[in-house]
Chains A and B, each alone.
Chain A
Amino acid sequence: MQERMEESGLGRLPQYAPLANPYVPYQSCGAATYPAKRGVVRGTLFPGLDLPFLGMVNEGELPNLPLHELQALSFAITELGLYLDTHTDDTEALELFRRYVALYEDGAAQYQEKYGPLRLQCAGKNGRYNWLQSPWPWEYDAKQED
């Protein structure tokens, strides 16, 4: 097992990198990750890639709303998916990916039961076609608590 690359943000380059090639260091396997709820507000799950502009950072977590829970889980899945595209053999990351997928599937089923469909195929569940229910994702939701 490789040593944990905590928040160092260091990766690895091949020892003999050929000339005339663009190089970005390869992110090491076993990198530390933020929990999904923190990762989503930082815009990455990986502390080593968390590189803000002029110290402007999003602190804290998303408000504790059911949709935000799903957004955090779904973000973690997206982020780990991209990571796994270039780190197909990282079993630890795959395990984390699978855990987030299970949590998301569970959460999405409960959410859709209570608040309405996220996908068209779930729009007729209670004998009523509720796909058109407001708000749509881009609309300002005045009712939502601050």
Chain B
Amino acid sequence: MFVYEKKLQYPVRIKNTNPRLAALIISQYGGPDGELGASLRYLSQRFSMPFPEQKGLLTDIGTEELGHLEMVGAIVHQLTRNLTEEQQRAAGFDAYFVDHTAGVYPTAASGFPFSAASIAVKGDPIADLTEDLAAEQKARVTYDNILRLSDDPDVNDVIKFLRQREIVHFQRFGEAIQCLRERLNQKNVYYMNPAVDL
């Protein structure tokens, strides 16, 4: 089960509102490489993992990603608090405003609502963990791109933290594949699907 802890993993305190920036950051909430997809991907993939290292790691990283989802939601919320009428109309935010007001909705910055099609659960440990390596890299690049586009130091402070976590997760998923290989037939790790055939 999950228990809520009433604190963020890393502090989010955005002094200045900026709805246009919020409309970009929202992509890491509900976009194709965002934190909602990350948490669902890992917390779903773990069910078919046959060995303890991968069950544990997917549970722990999936849980951390839920904390990141909360942080990204906090950034969007704080960037859009107490908006003036002019800010509501701001180009780049008006389309979001008409659909969601200042609510936090899982969507990509490009306007596409969250889609489970952006994650995968193949039910084969090597395939799923290889997907996770790619997922961490894509999330890392999205944070790189946000850093390119944002000049708000309060936002960037948090984005740098989140970006660095993707790198650490990539490392751990790589190690989890090695742990997996050591438990398989090393001459041919593709001999069978350990989620099905063990």
Contacts and interface: CB of A to CB of B under 8 A. Distances in A.
A136 to B, nearest CB: 7
B152 interface: no
Contact of A141 (B13, B60, B186): B13
B168 A44 contact: yes
A83 B160 contact: no
Name the interface size band of chain B. Answer: 35 or more
Say what secondary structure dominates the interface of chain A: loop
Nearest to B160: A58
A49 interface: yes
B6 interface: yes
Interface in B74-89: 74, 77-78, 81
Contacts of A71: 7-11
A51 interface: yes
B13 A119 contact: no
Interface in A42-59: 42-44, 46, 49-54, 56-58
Given A46-B168, A140-B78, A86 B11 contact: no
A42 B164 contact: yes
Contact of B175 (A26, A56, A118, A131): A26
Given A53-B147, A81-B60, A41 B161 contact: yes
Contacts of A127: none
A24 to B, nearest CB: 2
B93 to A, nearest CB: 18
A69 to B, nearest CB: 11
A74 B9 contact: yes
B121 to A, nearest CB: 18
Interface in B111-166: 130, 133, 143-144, 147, 156-157, 160-165
Interface of A: 14, 18, 20-27, 40-44, 46, 49-54, 56-58, 62, 67-68, 70-71, 74-75, 78-79, 81-83, 85-88, 116-120, 131, 136-141, 144
Interface of B: 3-14, 53, 56-57, 60-61, 64, 70, 73-74, 77-78, 81, 130, 133, 143-144, 147, 156-157, 160-165, 167-179, 181, 186-187, 189-190
Top 6 A-B pairs ranked by shortest CB distance? A24-B174, A43-B164, A138-B74, A86-B175, A85-B57, A43-B161
